[in-house]
Amino acid sequence: MSDAKNNDFLDDIASAEADEYDQIDIMAEVEDEETAGIDEIRGLQAERDDYKDRFMRALADAENARKRSDRDRREAENYGGSKFARDMLPVHDNMKRALEAISEEQREANAALIEGIELTMRELLSVFSKHGIKRITPEVGDRFDPQQHQAMFEAPLPGTKAGDIIQVSAEGFMLHDRLLRPAQVGVSSTPA
């Protein structure tokens, strides 16, 4: 019987070891499943973070596009007619020359006609002002400003300093804050 007891005892030990191995296998499987679950969670978190990053970039791109389109729209409103405005400047120049060339005799003889030309000139300047076109009207003796003036010639003139405006050939014009046409001037080259 002792052999039977020994066999039972050995069977019990083998069965216990098998149970222990089964438990170890189960724990390993659970650990593998947990590790797989953690890996899957980490993968999902990385994917979420990637989508969040893409979303934030798309949101920033959309905001930048909105700002850019607003700026482009404002520039089109303010400066879209600059070519037309530039083409209208010779009309202003010619009307101004015509008004300056009228003698007193002609004024008296053609008062209604001249008044019509003067009204047309005022209306043209009013339209210019309405659309943001401002005249640059330098005076003789002002300092030459290369941002607003174009030097048509230089000449030494006694009693002036180098860089002083000695003659104004044509007025300049600004369209809002941009130069449409510089004022054309003559500049003194007399050394100080």
**Cα dihedral 33/35/38/40 (nearest 10):** -70
pLDDT in tens, 91-103: 999 999 999 999 9
Tell which residue, 164, 153, 154, has the closest CA to residue 192: 164
pLDDT in tens, 102-142: 999 998 999 999 999 999 999 999 999 999 999 999 999 99
C-alpha–C-alpha distance, residues 15 and 107, integer Å? 131
Give the CB-side neighbour count of residue 35, counting CA atoms within 13 A. Answer: 6
Q: Which amino acid is at 117?
A: I
Residue in the structure block whose two tokens are 């369209």: 175
What pLDDT does residue 157 have? Answer: 86
On the question of pLDDT at 191 being above 60, the answer is yes
**In the CATH scheme, what architecture does the domain 80-188 have?**
Roll (2.30)
Give the CB-side neighbour count of residue 112, counting CA atoms within 13 A. Answer: 0
On the question of pLDDT at 8 being above 70, the answer is no
Task: Using DSSP, state whether 152 is helix, strand or coil.
Answer: strand
Q: Going by C-beta distance under 8 Å and a sequence separation of 6 or more, which residues neighbour residue 66?
A: none
Alpha helices (runs of H) in 80-132, residue ranges in sequence order: 82-101, 104-109, 111-130
Is the Cα torsion angle 39, 40, 41, 43 positive or negative in sign? positive
Q: Which two tokens stand for residue 189?
A: 């080259």
Task: Parse the chain into domains and list their residue ranges.
Answer: 1-79, 80-188
